[in-house]
Amino acid sequence: MGKLNDKVAIITGAGQGIGYAGALRLASEGASVVAVDIKMDGVDKLVKEIKDKGGRAISIQADVTNEDSVMEMVNKTVSEFGRIDILYNNAGATKKSDKGVVDMDLDTWNFAMDLVLKSVMLCCKHVIPIMIKNGGGSIINTSSGAGLVGDLSPSAYGAAKAGVINLTRYIATQHGKQNIRCNVVVPGVIVTEASTANVGPLFDLLESHALLPRNGKPEDIANAVVFLASDESGFMTGAEIVIDGGLTMHMPTFGDYMKTGLSI
């Protein structure tokens, strides 16, 4: 028996990387998967992989920054499966133009706020009423280490990801009595196609500042998502789970101490 048998899970940003791995893990535990992305190649491949392993899955093309598109996504899911038990808000991206505030253009700022933060609000807005009818559900949002600390860039993405963390708390507070849990995973450096394109040259440097001897894998996040989706986390809501190999858990001089052999 899987942990998520008879559950229906929507995963946004499922076409690659963290979302793809999360969808596979949810399916492996018995969930029927609704794989959502604005590009269909990745989610179609994902759905085939799930079905080849005996699972149930459909793909839906949706722009999660557009309310009509989100409503259509929800309606298609209910039409196909009759319910929604799990919402995994994972869609997100950053732009190379996302630098410091002084150099910020509004298109870059609005892109981050729409895709990273507004999308979470819209998906929750239209999925929560379905969950209430079903007697509850679990919402898992994806933030980022960029939402926990300051950095030179990406300012808009980091601010939006910080917003996701507190929006998680608001949703948990507003809907806990309706048996809806809302938690957030906070990935650190996770090696994916997208992160390689954005910060690949910095992987070794970032690894040297983590406490564990490697960077993260999408499966590291997927395992936490399954936990939060399942009854094993049934008394957790409003919580953030940081999965960054300890990158944000120590003094910033840690990496330098390790290189030089200095200690205090």
The catalytic site residues sit at 157
The radius of gyration of the chain from alpha carbons, rounded to an integer in Å, stands at 18
- In our burial notation (b when 16+ CB lie closer than 10 A, e otherwise), range 206-234 reads bbebbeeeebbebebbbebbbbbbbeebe
Residue keyed to tokens 């929800």: 74
Residues in CB range of 107: below 8 A, 6 or more apart: none
Phi then psi dihedrals of residue 92, to 5 deg: 175, 155
Evaluate whether 16 touches 39 at the Cβ level (below 8 Å): no
Q: Which helix (H) or strand (E) holds 154?
A: none
Tell me which DSSP letter residue 216 carries.
B
Angstrom distance (rounded) from CA 17 to CA 144: 14
Helix or strand holding residue 244 (H, E): none
Contact predicate 182/238, CB 8 Å: yes
For residues 126 and 203, what is the distance between their CA atoms, to the nearest angstrom? 38
